[in-house]
Amino acid sequence: MFETGFLDKLEAGKFETLSRILKYLFEDIYSFAGEIRSENIAKGNFRFAPVMYLKVSLEHIDSMSQSNFDEIIEKYVEMNVAHPFREGNGRSTRIWLDLILKKEIGKVVDWSRVDKEDYLLAMERSPIKSIEIKELLRNAITSDINNRDVYMNCIDASYNYEGYNIYKSEDL
């Protein structure tokens, strides 16, 4: 994705873009990659947006403003609550977030500076109060938007947050 410029051709902040990112990442693993889920899902005690409201939620998220850091993170939180896919939501949505940040404010998150436990707790609480996730990510923001290592840190952190930490991108 990084080397080919795939991301640079996508419209930042749209559900269609998120769907294309997820499909790119997972189409060789899941036949349903990039398709909106058709069942209700939960993680722990948190239930994501019910299927009956999912399309309306995604339309609302598409229309949300994304002109500054706070608005972008609010949009990211809403997309996390929607969790539109059966698998791969977190990993693809973090790439989607960085694309919005890059195109709108010339920044990305250096995910190597975001502690896993702090991130997961802040995301869990973000639908109620987003200040914690905003501050956590604000402290990890960088202007080094075209650095492959920063991009790959996102991939490594994303898999670590999901419990996969056997491999590092630099070893592949």
Q: Residue 35: what pLDDT?
A: 95
List of residues 6+ apart from 90 with CB closer than 8 A = 80, 158, 161, 162
Q: What is the CA radius of gyration of the chain?
A: 15
Cα–Cα distances in angstroms (integers) from residue 86 to residues 3, 22, 30, 51, 157, in the given order:
27, 11, 10, 11, 20
139 pLDDT band (50/70/90 cuts)? very high
| Length of the chain (residues) | 172
Model's pTM, two decimal places?
A: 0.91
Percent residues over pLDDT 90 in the chain: 75
What is d(CA 105, CA 139) in angstroms, rounded to the nearest whole number? 15
Fold of 11-163: Fic-like fold (1.10.3290)
pLDDT score for 155: 79
Question: Would you list the domain boundaries of the chain?
Answer: 11-163
- Residues 36-60 pLDDT 10s: 999 999 888 888 999 999 999 999 9
